[in-house]
Amino acid sequence: MAKITYIEHNGTEHMVDVANGLTVMEGARDNNIPGIEADCGGACACSTCHVYIAPEWVEKIPAKDDMEEDMLDFAFEPDPARSRLTCQIKVSDALDGLIVHMPEKQI
């Protein structure tokens, strides 16, 4: 289990416990956190679960694969260093304390 903080574009914070094995996107969906739409349901076929990883976490999570990198081209204002699709980040104890910031909108 990991405690993850989702921060909306307006600064509203949501700190929730997410079970190991789920994705960061599923944690948002299961806890009704606004700002992560996840239109494709986690298939890495859209960019509507885009977030910006807090700078101190960028090097602590697994690297993006090519498919995620390609989908981020369709995200709203992607940041080459910090943008990630939450459907591609599996939760583990190592992610306890993770902070993600939502963009102004999802495309």
Would you kindly state where each structural domain of the chain is located, as residue ranges? 2-101
pLDDT of residue 107: 86
pLDDT at 101 over 90: yes
Indicate the length of the chain as a whole number. 107
- Answer for the pair 76, 105: CB distance below 8 angstroms, yes or no: yes
User: How do residues 28-68 score in pLDDT, each as one tens digit?
Assistant: 999 999 999 999 999 999 999 999 999 999 999 999 999 99
Token output for 85: 């699709």
Tell me if the pTM is above 0.85.
Answer: yes
pLDDT of residue 3: 98
pLDDT of residue 22: 98
AA letter at 87: C
Q: Give alpha helix (H) positions in 1-107.
A: 24-30, 66-72
Question: Could you confirm whether domain 2-101 is CATH 3.30.230.10?
Answer: no
CA distance 77 to 58: 17
9 backbone dihedrals φ, ψ, rounded to 5°: -60, -30
Round the average pLDDT of the chain to a whole number and report it: 96
